[in-house]
Structure 1
Amino acid sequence: MIRSFRLGNHRSFAGEGELLFMPVKEAAGSSVVPVTAIYGANASGKSNLIDGLLFMRSAVLESFGRWEVDGGVPRKPFQLGEVDEPSLFVVELVLHGVPYTYGFTVDDEAVREEWLYSYPEKRKRKIFEREGEEITFGSTVVGDLRAKLTLLEELIRPNALFLSGCANTKIDVVMPIFEWFQSQLRTRRVDARPRGEVLARQVQRFVQDAPDKRDKLITLLRAADVAISDVQLDEVDDPRAQRQLRDLDEEISELRETVDGDEEGANGESAARLRSLLRHRERLMQRKRTELKFMHDALGEPLGIDDESAGTRNWLDLLPTVLGALENGSAVVVDEIDASLHPLLTARLIGLFQDPEVNPHQAQLIFTTHDTTLLGSMLGEDVLTREQVWFVEKGAAGASSVYALSDFKPRKDQNTERRYLGGSYGAVPILDPQQFADAVLGS
């Protein structure tokens, strides 16, 4: 689970900003809040905060094996002013009951600093620290482990993370961190209209994986009141194979004329080619593909993914990720969760993570949104607690900052939604109605 994320000099964040995913009163403990909502005006930097976490993941997973040797570091520093500092990225995690802190700083050319600490039994243990190309190891890193890490130190490029290189060679001491970035951090950006073909393949793989996953997905589709009663997989002719068959039949027809007119049997190459094409044609005729269809109680014929609404598609896009996270205790990061989803449906989705019985493995949902109804009480109770709400605001110089609702110490009886829209917490656009009117009237 992730307890905090800190970044600096990344996109619209000139200085440092930190998100805490833990209860305020238990900052020293190991518990986390199951849901974190991030609010702010358009272009305030909400997505840039998420992008920072995604950049950190890409650096961990790809810097050693995929970044170009002489390509520097593909960072995205603050562009609206002079910031003579490296970009910073730090996470605090709890993995298998052990807290970890991992972070690094980078400039355009290389990794400047990198560090990994663990805290077994609440005592800090250095695994490694890096400054430039010099790496030091903690006192508990001994024997074969120290020998392996020392050897690897010689192979690390200036623009590659040491953690990325260690994971590439499967060194056990770093694998929990690497595997969290690889499989326990899941991301989604809710699109106004998700691509049908890509979405269909995603849902198809999910329902084919195990019968219980298919049942859960269908149940959540029914619960969402999107009128889908069942999901079926139909075997149909492969369209690509059908296109190839049309071209193939033309060539076969021409070859048949040549072979049939060859009375002396002199054109043996054409005959061999014809036999080969006929065998290939037979294989193409047998090629099928599985097509995802959705049954609706009110309709006799099933519908394809392209016939479903944008809201239904977005719900379908989220469900495999959400169900996988609840099963494995992953962190799900969703940018613009409210796009095409009804507020009540978003509230129910949040409720899945808030329910300890449904979420026994402490999966986390982290999302950006403009949906202020989530700040109030729907369905008879608060959707979000005060410590689950964060704001991002952009200052006059164009730099973003992030801060918590709990910093304002709001009373429980306050109308958080109204106070936020009224500007009490900042992070809202300043909109002058006269300016809008003047723009249209040409004043």
Structure 2
Amino acid sequence: MLIKVKIENFMSIGSLQEFSMLAGKARGKREHLLTSKKLNILRFSALYGANASGKSNFINAIDFSQKVILEGLPKGFTQKYNRANKDNKNKTSHFEFEIKVDNKFYNYGFETLLNENSITKEWLYEINQDSSYLIFNRDLTKNEYSIGKYFKDDNILKRVNIYFDDTKTDESALFLSVMNRDKSELYKTKSELIVFKNIFNWFKFDLDINYPDKPFSNYSYFMTKANSEEIFNTINKFGTGITNFKIIDAKREDIANSVPDELLKDVRDNIEKEIIRAKKESIPPTEIGLLLRGDKEFFIFEVNENYNILTKTIEFEHGSHGTFNICEESDGTRRILELIEILFSENNNRIYIIDEIDRSLHPLLTYKFIESYLNSLGKKNIQLIVTTHESRLLNFDLLRRDEIWFVNKSANNESELYSLEQFNERFDKKVDKSYLLGRYNAIPNFNEV
């Protein structure tokens, strides 16, 4: 679960900004929370703001962090510091996460000098309400490095120190990443070291970031045949007119005509990597797959028991009107099909972050989808964080006060994040009207032409 994110000096975000999924003082709709003796955590949050306010840049910052952890410092980001102030070129950019993994809480983060494409700091702590325990810390700007007292076994501590000494002055790599390169055998026998794998896997498997133009995502729940009836009933509830669907083999010519060769290669390379990992970690190959989205098409790439990659697509029935390919469905129907996994997700601890969730959706359909998500939560350990312009969601009949966030462009052209919680609005307040009238800022400012 995601607790907090802190970002500084990245794209339109200048000074340190904090986003939190901790419950505030709002009393209603406690079923939206994941409650415990330690913390009450929100399972939904919506970010509002004018175009170019920085909503997507906040998502970009989380996405960048994930890429650095999983793949190393990416190319093309040396100019992505906040350029509203020319001094920011030589200042570090800060990326920090408070997360819950296996009922423990951690603070992990790093800093990078984007202009020089180098890592300058990195740290990991286990935290609780009263104290924190250092696991490791690297400060390459001061040549200060330390391993905490987290590891009790002397042999394990020696092993960590060996890896740490090899990498502590390496400005090109994160220690968390190094501890997850070709070390699957290590984690089978060194139980205390599993913390490195758990934190890394949170970023790799639990954090699911989606943009409107993102071409493919992880294997969707929508594609599991065992749940066809349940999925169909949900699709039908959204008024799509679909009466049935079936998954069929995709034709090679359809794939060739719809998917660029380079993208198709990326998909297959991605699946091949997962096959290698599955063999090493004894993961069933049938759990591997990708959902590829084009302008009109859906293609499902899955792996059978013999590790062969199969490509499927979807056909839909509309009562007596016949069978239709997915490319013949409306943009709104296809958008619902992209999002429907969230309603059925059995993958506890998954955090879905979706930019422009209302794209191609009727306002009432956006409202219905969010309402369905909130009603489906039960005891699930999942979270949904969205950016949107849909003001109808600003309704205390639907959302809690602390589930609503704003992103506003300040006078010095920097993005600022803040929660509706700070305004302490009454439960009967017409928030959507107040928002559009500018009470909370985060709306467009129009100039006369």
TM-score (norm 2): 0.75
1:334 aligns with 2:349: no
Identity %: 28
CA distance in 2, matches of 1:173, 1:181: 13
Secondary structure of the residue aligned to 1:350 is helix
Query: What does 1:154-193 correspond to in 2, within 5 Å?
Result: 154-156=165-167, 157-168=170-181, 169-170=183-184, 171-190=193-212
Residue matched to 1:217 = 231
SS of the aligned residue for 1:100 comes to strand
Q: Distance in 2 between matches of 1:7 and 1:289?
A: 39
1: CA distance, partners of 2:68 / 2:339: 25
**Residue 123 of structure 2 aligns to a residue in which SS?**
strand
Q: 2:149 aligns with which of 125, 139, 143?
A: 139
- How many angstroms does 1:94 deviate by? 1.2
Alpha-carbon distance, 1:224 to partner: 0.9
1:236 and 1:75, CA in 2 relative to 1: closer, same or farther beyond 3 A? closer
The aligned counterpart of 1:150 is 161
CA contact (8 A) 1:149 1:166 kept: no
**Match among 350, 363, 366 for residue 343 of structure 1:** 363
Q: Alpha-carbon deviations, 1:110-152, whole Å to 9, x = none?
A: 2111111113685411111111164311113242322222222
Summarize deviations over 1:246-280 as a string: whole Å, max 9, x none.
xxxxxxxxxxxxxxxxxxxxxxxxxxxxxxxxxxx
The whole-number CA distance in structure 2 between the counterparts of 1:344 and 1:53 is 29
1:119–1:421 Cα change, 3 Å: same
Aligned residue runs from structure 1 range 11-26, under 5 A: 11-25=11-25
Aligned to 1:328, what secondary structure does the other structure show? Answer: coil
The 5 Å alignment of 1:250-261 reads: none
> 1:57 Cα shift?
0.9
Alignment of 1:288-327 (within 5 A): 290-300=312-322, 302-324=323-345, 326-327=346-347
1:118 and 2:126 are equivalent in the alignment: yes
- Residue 77 of structure 1: aligned partner: 81
Q: How big is the shift at 1:295?
A: 0.9
For the Cα contact (< 8 Å) 2:2–2:98, is it kept in 1? Answer: yes
Q: Amino acid of the residue matched to residue 109 of structure 2?
A: G
| Contact map agreement 2:395 2:430 (CA 8 A) in 1 | yes
* Unaligned ranges ≥5, structure 2: 26-34, 185-192, 258-309
Verify the 8 A CA contact 1:376 1:416 in the aligned structure 2.
yes
Summarize the Cα distance change of 1:412–1:237 in structure 2 as closer, same or farther, 3 Å threshold. closer
Report Cα offsets for 1:378-432 as digits up to 9, x if no partner.
xxxx121111111111122211111111111111121111111111111111124
The 5 Å alignment of 1:27-426 reads: 29-63=38-72, 67=73, 76-82=80-86, 83=88, 84-108=90-114, 109=116, 110-119=118-127, 123-132=131-140, 134-142=144-152, 143-156=154-167, 157-168=170-181, 169-170=183-184, 171-190=193-212, 206-212=221-227, 214-235=228-249, 238-239=252-253, 290-300=312-322, 302-324=323-345, 326-355=346-375, 358-376=377-395, 382-426=397-441
Distance 1:368 1:92, change over 3 A: same
Structure (1 or 2) with the greater helix fraction: 1
* Contact 1:7/1:88 (8 A) holds in 2: yes
CA distance in 1, matches of 2:246, 2:334: 16
The answer (yes or no) to whether the contact 2:407–2:442 under 8 Å persists in 1 is yes
Q: Distance in 2 between matches of 1:182 and 1:410?
A: 38
User: Given the superposition, is the C-alpha separation of residues 148 and 427 from structure 1 closer, same or farther in structure 2, using an over 3 Å criterion?
Assistant: same
1:55-81 deviations in Å (ceiling 9; x for gaps) = 111111111xxx58xx79757211222
Deviations 1:73-96 (A, max 9, x none): 757211222224200011111111
Q: Distance in 1 between matches of 2:416 and 2:251?
A: 54
CA shift digits 1:195-225 (9 cap, x unpaired)? 7xx69xx88x65554412x333222211111
Give RMSD over aligned pairs.
2.9
Are the equivalent residues in 2 in contact too, given 1:189–1:335 (CA < 8 A)? yes
CA distance in 2, matches of 1:28, 1:242: 54
Q: Which amino acid aligns with 1:390?
A: W
* 1:36 partner amino acid: S
Residue matched to 2:297: none
**Per the alignment, do residues 291 and 371 of structure 1 end up closer, same or farther by CA in structure 2, a change over 3 Å counting?**
closer
Query: CA shift at 1:240, angstroms?
Result: 7.8
Aligned residues: 371
Cα distance between partner residues in 1 of 2:55 and 2:254: 41
Q: Structure 1: where are the runs of 5+ without partners?
A: 244-287
Alignment correspondent of 2:2: 2
